[in-house]
Copies of this chain bind each other. A is one copy, B any other.
Amino acid sequence: MGESDFIAALKALASDPAARGLDDDAAVLELGSETLVLTHDVLVEGVHVRTDEDAADVAWKLVAVNLSDLAAKGAQPIGVLLGHMLGEGDARFIKGLREVLEAHDVPLLGGDTVRGSGPRSWGCTAIGRATHTPVPDRRNARAGDGVFVTGTLGRAMLGFEAADRDSDHALAYRRPSPLIAEGIALAPHVSAMMDVSDGLLLDCFRMAQASDISIDLDSSRFPVADSDMRDECVRWGDDYELLFTLPPETPLPVPATLIGKVGGDDLAPLWVDGEMIFPKDGIGYQH
Residues of chain A whose beta carbon lies under 8 Å from any beta carbon of chain B? 1, 3, 6-7, 9-10, 13-15, 18-23, 26-27, 29, 31-34, 36, 38-44, 46-48, 78-79, 81-86, 90-91, 93-94, 97-98, 101, 107-119, 121, 123, 125, 127, 129, 287
Give the docked Cα–Cα distance between A42 and B93 (Å).
Answer: 18
Taking a contact as CB atoms under 8 Å apart, the answer to whether B83 and A123 are in contact is: yes
Taking a contact as CB atoms under 8 Å apart, the answer to whether A38 and B127 are in contact is: yes
Give the docked Cα–Cα distance between A19 and B107 (Å).
Answer: 10
Taking a contact as CB atoms under 8 Å apart, the answer to whether B27 and A109 are in contact is: yes
Question: What's the minimum C-beta distance from A40 to chain B, rounded to whole angstroms?
Answer: 4
Give the docked Cα–Cα distance between A24 and B282 (Å).
Answer: 45
Taking a contact as CB atoms under 8 Å apart, the answer to whether A13 and B94 are in contact is: yes
Q: Which single member of B6, B91, B123 contacts A1 (CB below 8 Å)?
A: B91
Give the docked Cα–Cα distance between A287 and B129 (Å).
Answer: 33
Taking a contact as CB atoms under 8 Å apart, the answer to whether B108 and A13 are in contact is: yes
Give the docked Cα–Cα distance between A94 and B2 (Å).
Answer: 13
Asked, given contacts A27-B79, A79-B18, A129-B31, whether A116 binds B121 with beta carbons under 8 Å apart, the answer is yes
Taking a contact as CB atoms under 8 Å apart, the answer to whether B10 and A94 are in contact is: yes
Residues of B within 8 A of A114 (CB): 42-44, 47-48, 121, 287
Asked, given contacts A34-B34, A107-B18, A118-B117, whether A40 binds B79 with beta carbons under 8 Å apart, the answer is no
10 additional A-B residue pairs with CB within 8 Å, beyond A27-B110, A38-B127: A6-B84, A6-B93, A6-B113, A9-B91, A13-B94, A23-B111, A29-B78, A31-B36, A38-B109, A40-B112
Give the docked Cα–Cα distance between A15 and B97 (Å).
Answer: 14
Asked, given contacts A9-B94, A115-B3, whether A14 binds B107 with beta carbons under 8 Å apart, the answer is yes
